[in-house]
Amino acid sequence: AQSVAQPEDQVNVAEGNPLTVKCTYSVSGNPYLFWYVQYPNRGLQFLLKYITGDNLVKGSYGFEAEFNKSQTSFHLKKPSALVSDSALYFCAVRGSSWGKLQFGAGTQVVVTP
Amino acid sequence: DGGITQSPKYLFRKEGQNVTLSCEQNLNHDAMYWYRQDPGQGLRLIYYSQIVNDFQKGDIAEGYSVSREKKESFPLTVTSAQKNPTAFYLCASSTGAGGRDEQFFGPGTRLTVL
């Protein structure tokens, strides 16, 4: 069975400060890991993914994520948060064979001016 | 523009009615998916289809039905058997390339039972 945990329901950060959204996962085999962002009453937008290779993955809008196999984590980061980054962020995982994409419960990010 | 469209944006259903949510994509993707989103629960998979004329149940298929007669279209019917259908419904598609591909999402349909 595969699972994803986003331990924080909400993350509050001041504009200009670093932003981190945590994600841990559990799969058998090698994981495919994804981050998505959702603005109110909208669909999800893809930010980045880890399939193989470099542990540091760079994505859209200045976001990056680091794959840590020993800690089974895939935390999303941004060096300097913007008010426009305020949204709901989802981490998702799939096992190496074709399988369902398992989503975390989501983390609400609030960036204050 | 390429993308996924869902209609209607808002849908109201009376108890006992079946309703159908539309999902169309022009991305030439083989795989399509339906998810249900409830507050604090993330996304849960209802049905998915890897190819035309074939589909599989997801984690919460009871009370829902789908068809995949065309590559571009994957409509979802919420039947009267679904006891708590009020939710935000998201359709997605992907190339279906062996699990490495990201899914592209439509804007969603918010269904409310009156």
pLDDT at A106: 96
**CB atoms A100 and B102 under 8 Å:** no
**CB atoms B43 and A97 under 8 Å:** no
Q: Can you tell me the mean pLDDT for A16-35?
A: 94
Answer whether residue A100 shows pLDDT above 90.
no
Q: Can you tell me the mean pLDDT for B69-88?
A: 94
Answer whether residue B97 shows pLDDT above 70.
no
pLDDT at A87: 97
Answer whether residue B87 shows pLDDT above 80.
yes
Cα-flanking dihedrals φ and ψ of residue A71, to 5°?
A: -95, 0
* Residue A99 in contact with partner chain B when CB distance is under 8 A: yes
Decide: B51 and B97 in contact? Cβ < 8 Å.
no
B107 closest CB neighbour out of A42, A46, A95: A42
**pLDDT tens-digit map of A31-89:** 999 999 999 888 999 999 999 889 999 999 999 999 999 999 999 999 999 999 999 99
B45 closest CB neighbour out of A49, A51, A100: A100
With beta carbons under 8 A apart, name residues in chain B contacting A97. Answer: 99
Answer whether residue B1 shows pLDDT above 60.
no
**pLDDT tens-digit map of B24-64:** 999 999 999 999 999 878 899 999 999 999 999 999 999 99
Distant-in-sequence, close-in-space partners of A8: CB < 8 Å, separation ≥ 6: A21, A22, A107
Confidence of residue B68 (pLDDT cuts 50, 70, 90): very high
**A99 to chain B nearest CA, in Å?**
7
Which residues sit opposite B67 in a β-bridge?
none
**pLDDT tens-digit map of B12-31:** 988 889 999 999 999 999 99
What is the rounded CA–CA span in Å between residue A53 and residue A16?
Answer: 30
B102 closest CB neighbour out of A46, A99, A100: A46
What does each C-alpha distance from B68 to A18, A57, B4, B103 come to in angstroms? 44, 35, 15, 18
Which residues sit opposite A24 in a β-bridge?
A5, A73
pLDDT at B2: 63
Name residues 1-20 of chain A within 8 A of B (Cβ): 9
pLDDT at A97: 59
Q: 3-state DSSP call for residue A84?
A: helix
